[in-house]
């Protein structure tokens, strides 16, 4: 299955979401940061990068963002995967993430959301202030389960905001 390339507005939307979670990215402080952001083929460097990802608290949104990118803009180790593995995920539709599709389904359109899109639907429900009933219908789940998903995501957002150790270190890094 081919995946629709992510449009520029969608990438902007993803980029603003990225900014929130990327403050917690373990790779921002890795001793070999290039392996995460460039086309590195050295198996030893890739193996080490995967170990960094395994302990990263934002591995899920990282993978979501990486597979949402067009193949031409997808480089480096991300969320324990290399670009070739993410291409396979896209080809199988596992990583498909179309923000417009998510919003259409949340608005009531019929459609099957991929795992990544289901995660995004929870985030968009919170961001747009939608009732839990909309999420329950979009994901075809029971209302209490939808409420629990929303509550879990709110807790995760609050926790990241309250205990974000990356922010000052990132600023210091940027200032250096
Ligand atoms: S999962 Fe890996 S690539 Fe993604 S933010 Fe974390 S450390 Fe960086």
Q: What are phi and psi of 81, to 5 degrees?
A: -120, 155
Nearest partner of 150 among 111, 108, 121, 110, judged by Cα: 121
Range of the domain at 46: 8-91
Summarize the confidence of residues 55-75 as an average pLDDT: 84
pLDDT at 10 over 60: no
Domain count for the chain, please give it. 2
Examine the domain organization and report whether 75 and 125 are in the same domain. no
Residues 57 and 122 in one domain: no
- 108 and 82 share one domain: no
* Entry pTM: 0.53
Cα 121 from Cα 113, distance rounded (Å)? 9
| Same domain as 121, residue 57 | no
Q: How far is residue 11's CA from residue 65's CA, in Å, rounded to a whole number?
A: 9
What pLDDT score was predicted for residue 114?
80
Q: Indicate whether 85 and 124 sit together in one domain.
A: no
Q: Which of 35, 69, 91 is the last residue of a domain?
A: 91
The segment with the largest mean pLDDT, out of 9-23, 90-104, 113-127, is 113-127
At residue 42, the 3 state secondary structure works out as coil
Query: What spacing in Å lies between the alpha carbon of 54 and ligand 1's midpoint?
Result: 8
- Report the pLDDT value the prediction gives residue 63, as an integer from 0 to 100: 83
28 and 81 assigned to the same domain? yes
Are residue 130 and residue 82 in the same domain, yes or no? no
**Closest residue CA from atom 3 of ligand 1:** 78
Q: Is residue 174 part of a domain?
A: no
Centroid of ligand 1 to alpha carbon of 103 (angstroms): 27
Query: How many A from CA of 28 to the centre of ligand 1?
Result: 8
Whether residues 14 and 87 fall in one domain:
yes
Mean pLDDT over the full length of the chain: 80
Last residue of a domain, one of 34, 63, 91: 91
pLDDT at residue 5 is higher than 60: no
Domain check: are 46 and 30 in the same one? yes
Structural domain contains residue 79: yes
Query: What average pLDDT score do residues 6-18 get?
Result: 50
- Domain assignment of residue 75, yes or no: yes
CA pair distance 155, 58, nearest whole angstrom: 14
Q: CA 135, CA 153: separation in Å to the nearest integer?
A: 13
pLDDT score at 175: 40
Residue 166, domain member (yes or no):
no
User: Higher confidence at residue 13 or residue 22?
Assistant: 22
What average pLDDT does range 37-63 have in this prediction?
89
Residue closest by Cα to atom 8 of ligand 1 = 27
What is the whole-number distance in angstroms between the Cα of residue 127 and the centre of ligand 1? 24
CA–centroid distance, residue 151 to ligand 1 (Å):
25
H-helix segments, the chain: 8-21, 34-37, 43-54, 59-68, 83-91, 99-106, 115-128, 132-139, 143-162, 166-175
Q: Which ligand 1 atom minimizes the distance to the CA of 24? A: 5
Q: How far is CA 53 from CA 20, 48, 56, 105, in A?
A: 18, 9, 5, 32
Give the integer Cα–Cα distance in Å for 126 and 60. Answer: 18
Q: Which atom of ligand 1 is nearest the CA belonging to 78?
A: 3
User: Facing residues of 78 across strands?
Assistant: 81
Domain shared by 81 and 126, yes or no? no
Q: Is the CB of 82 under 6 A from ligand 1?
A: no
Determine the angle formed by the axes of helices 83-91 and 59-68, rounding to 10 degrees: 70
Q: pLDDT of 70-89, one tens digit each?
A: 888 899 999 889 999 888 87
């Amino acid at each position: 299955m081919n995946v629709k390339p992510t449009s520029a507005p969608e990438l902007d939307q993803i980029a603003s979401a990225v900014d929130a979670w990327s403050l917690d990215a373990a790779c921002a402080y890795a001793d070999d940061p290039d392996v995460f952001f460039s086309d590195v083929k050295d198996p030893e460097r890739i193996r080490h990068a995967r170990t960094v990802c395994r302990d990263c608290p934002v591995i899920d949104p990282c993978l979501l963002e990486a597979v949402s990118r067009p193949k031409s803009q997808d480089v480096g180790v991300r969320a324990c995967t290399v670009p070739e593995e993410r291409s396979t995920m896209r080809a199988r539709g596992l990583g498909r993430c179309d923000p417009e599709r998510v919003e259409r389904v949340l608005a009531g359109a019929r459609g099957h959301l991929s795992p990544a899109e289901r995660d995004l639907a929870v985030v968009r429900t919170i961001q747009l202030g939608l009732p839990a009933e909309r999420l329950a219908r979009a994901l075809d789940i029971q209302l209490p389960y939808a409420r629990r998903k929303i509550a879990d995501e709110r807790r995760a957002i609050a926790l990241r905001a309250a205990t974000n150790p990356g922010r000052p270190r990132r600023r210091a890094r940027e200032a250096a």
